[in-house]
Structure 1
């Protein structure tokens, strides 16, 4: 934890100048002292309530048992209950909310940094990511009654929340969902909690979809309202969003005692994140009858057929959160393998006459190849952490900056969010693989934590939008939207860093290398769309995202180095310089190879017939 804290302090205060946020009226009551107090509290809770139980929640997975009412419930280890209770008591669920809402009006930048402690300590115990995203969505798109009854009780810790998108037959293809919502009687629009519908369908991969951590679970469910002919509108146009509570609630926020028709159908047993309940939920199957109806009671959020627009408010938050989780796991593996390398004696150095077996063994950190693996982990993990905090700062600028600054932050986030989610998911996973390698055979056993970090991190390339989906979103939409304005803004920020770096002899070569890579990304973007054929352009979207992500991380590292003096450096500063140097020498040269298939619109993958496999 101490290593993470030192890195966070540097990135927040020396690099991002996070104290400047207090010049915004919303954060005027804060100071570095209040920011540090939040970080101190979260670091302590993570150290005491999360880290000691990371292996326990991995081995004692959630269990589905008979609830005594003809259904199933989930049993979790007591450690999970204790951690959740401590997190809620800290006030972090509502930290970013207004004082009037019981929040701290804390900048998202500080909240994101603080949540890094929990993800590093035990990502699968969780830190209410979906509950906060659920409540934040309702605060934007819900009615006043929905905010009062559902969102505020989530912020208070009485309720938890989920997002229910995927279905067994549809996966990530939301246009193919079949869960339907029909008006509940002739007076369905008169319910004070919102237009009342009855939902029937099945949802899959629902994190925290069933638990006893709080009084209630508030599901946000995507479903389609049938047309006058009873048929569902094809595609995404017909999707609406509904609040479907596990237990029914009155307008006073108190439970009515009735169980909604939401049933746990089973648990998904995952490679990692085993401490997080992952469920298949059935809505309206009749196993939890309520008010003698057919279907689970749900309340419309926003307008009919605008569900996806509302849900993306939550999904974008979740994607940044997943990027932070992937980053934290990468750093956890790095810290573990660094400690191992410093203490594990093995082998001898090669001298002019070869190895001298009579000499004592050296610690493996003295071997150049082990240093290579450690530098790669450091470059990936700390580079990703800087990117996540930079994106968090953009969220604050979007919410509290001038109209011009807010619009610029919005466009920058449009382009950077797919990278913020996917780049750490891929390369911090690689960092975890290297952490196992540093441990050698021991890394492949459960005697050391690095194998669990890898398993936990492998999920992050999949959930909240797979790697391929993020890549298609980046190349197919984000870099070309509004005439490429967002891409131009990112390039402008990078060029600003380049101008400063070129003035320093120790950074000039890095700056020149990055300038060439940036120019290459711009040329490849144009070449990909030269024919106007989306299929040809997007066939190599993933290598495009890998290349663009590497350019962004190189920029972030170069910008970080502008805060490091060119002489008289501390050991920590030397470490940052060397990690950045590794990235520029070993990683940035990969960009041309990735972009070659993009700019030539290489058809190899798209044209390979099924029979060839």
Structure 2
């Protein structure tokens, strides 16, 4: 089983993505050009990624004292991806791009994540370059962003520090104006950075000529002290190797040094590093510290960086989704071919009867249905978010603003829901395989290990939950939540006209009302500590509401007449039915602690653990 039939259905039958070609930006495109992109990416993923997924898991990146060594397969996969034009696929023609809708780009990248998520599809490089295209100067765009889109450079994001983790207000990396008066450097105001960054994916490698680090650091005040909190954070371009204004390497190494490699549970094919900036290992002439160029205005670094972080969060959601689907495909194939046991009932007790394939057992079907409901539901949500990105950039001003606010609310869900429930799908895939599932003879244990990182990547569950309940659903007077509710109600009204879907519509209406009431109850006292103590259960409930809505909207596309349905339509209807019968009822339990502002967790004394 492959990803392609599901993508085609969601893109064209449900989202009507081919209609994007009617917009001026995409006027040169059609379904034929979209399909050609999907064909190319599917082929590259099949030939250059999938055969080497186990290899990059076992041959981890290693440091030889001078450079990080990656398997040759990783270099060849990266080269094929760059040559396909996918790094700059959504960029303007003038930038060497295809002016491809983000919806199609996101769908195409799904093939690479299913094939081998840790080889990667330049997620951070694209996010890095996209940020610079919005917030960088013309020189920064020309020298750094365009070379990233062209494949000469790769990119990273450097936020976390060993002592601060996700608490960006506590970072201590310093940036001081370069003492030789080079604030007028054509590449931007020049600073010298000193500090340490950790958990930097792709922070050191030889895949391209250069690495462009985007680094959060604080500019000291007149008294030499760092401004506390996030207000003092600025953003800097810190290249691994120094570059001239013509984009060519100067031959001088910047003072960015590898302090160590992190050896991870999963995503082992992606280098993950600790980096030291300005420690003196590669001293740069003219002063101490690594040379960095200010992006945007001083003290607005976090605002700029969120452009990249939000993009990365959707990318992580897609990666988690793809891993869930990869495990589903593997366990479905196994279940269809593994004979074991006999049917329940008197006839099944006869040992002379041949064993049946395990897919004939109801509990195996339960686990496969759960994986399908999680994985395909998450995929639909990710493509829906991608479609909102296109609406934000090419829709009418009113539609674009609505898409912006919908994305604000949905982004924490798009990152976290697949990270939790597609991980559960991977656990079920192991269970379907039985004892074989936790051996390395089968791929499902690796899918689980790879996916376990996604609950932490780009902001943990707790951070996303606090963002959702603490900021997103109450921002702009709760307008974003109202927009989501409006979209859900539209789907409910349409589904009520279908007798086969009316029951689902009523269940979704009840869940929507419950989430709305719980949101108000959580904030009834106006005290953030009380409201946010149960932010994660709130996010789980909200996520289930969104996935139920997504499933209902998807199956509305399926003909009401059973005689007109394909086998795949029946499968989608059963997956939706599973989600509404087995999953949506969980919303009430999660919301109970939210609406009562249950203090159990917050009140637990430390010494009682």
Using the TM superposition, give the Cα deviation of residue 358 of structure 1 relative to its aligned residue in structure 2, in angstroms.
1.0
Does 2:594 correspond to 1:598? yes
**Aligned residue among 573, 577, 585 for 1:577:** 573
Structure 1 residue 481 and structure 2 residue 480: aligned? no
Q: Within 5 Å, which residues of 2 pair with 1:76-475?
A: 76-185=70-179, 187-352=181-346, 355-475=349-469
For 1:570 and 1:356, how far apart are their aligned partners in 2? 36
* Residue 541 of structure 2, aligned match among 543, 547, 553: 547
Q: Does 1:611 align with 2:607?
A: yes
1:354 Cα deviation after fit:
5.3
Q: Secondary structure at 1:211's aligned position in 2?
A: coil
Partner of 2:2: helix, strand, or coil? helix
Alpha-carbon distance between aligned partners in 2 of 1:76 and 1:354, rounded to the nearest angstrom: 53
Instruction: Check the 8 A contact 2:179/2:287 in 1, yes or no.
Output: no
Measure the CA separation in 2 of the matches of 1:311 and 1:457.
Answer: 25
Q: Distance in 1 between matches of 2:288 and 2:251?
A: 19
Cα distance in 2 for residues equivalent to 1:481 and 1:363: 52
Report the alpha carbon displacement of residue 359 of structure 1 after superposing the two structures with TM.
0.4
Task: Give the ranges of 4+ consecutive aligned residues of structure 1 lying more than 3 Å apart after TM superposition.
Answer: none
Select between 462-471 and 181-190 the one with higher mean Cα deviation.
181-190
- 2:88–2:150 Cα contact (<8 Å) kept: yes
Q: Distance in 2 between matches of 1:180 and 1:427?
A: 39
* CA apart distance, 1:24: 1.2
Name structure 2 gaps, 5 residues minimum.
none
Pairwise CA RMSD:
0.7
SS for the counterpart of 1:66 is: coil
SS of residue paired to 2:541:
helix
The 2-side partners of 1:412 and 1:22 are apart by 23
How far the C-alpha of 1:353 sits from its partner, in A, is 5.8
TM-score, normalised relative to structure 1: 0.99
1:62 aligns with 2:58: no
Checking the alignment, whether the CA contact within 8 Å between 2:180 and 2:286 is kept in structure 1 is no
CA distance change for structure 1 residues 361 and 301 in 2, over 3 Å: closer, same or farther?
Answer: same
Q: Is this contact kept in 1: 2:367–2:432, CA < 8 A?
A: yes
**TM-score with structure 2 setting the length:** 0.99
Instruction: Provide the rounded CA distance (Å) in 2 between the counterparts of 1:236 and 1:556.
Output: 36
Partner SS, residue 157 of structure 1: coil
- Cα deviations across residues 429-469 of structure 1 (Å, max 9, x unaligned)? 00000000000000000000000000000000001000000
Task: Confirm or deny: 8 A CA contact 2:258 2:274 kept in the other structure.
Answer: yes
Could you say what secondary structure the match of 2:211 adopts? strand
Deviation at 1:293, TM superposition (A): 2.0
CA distance in 1, matches of 2:244, 2:483: 48
Equivalents in 1 of 2:404, 2:230: separation in Å? 24
Partner SS state of residue 516, structure 1: helix
Does residue 1:586 correspond to 2:582, yes or no?
yes
Residue equivalent to 1:45:
44
Partner residue, 1:70: none
Which of 494, 499, 502 aligns to 1:508? It is 502
Q: CA deviation at 1:3?
A: 2.4
Q: Deviations over 1:39-59 (max 9, x none)?
A: 000000000000000000000
Provide the rounded CA distance (Å) in 1 between the counterparts of 2:367 and 2:292: 51
Tell me the alpha carbon deviations over residues 314-362 of structure 1, each in whole angstroms, 9 at most, x when there is no partner: 0000000000000000000000000000000000002246521110000
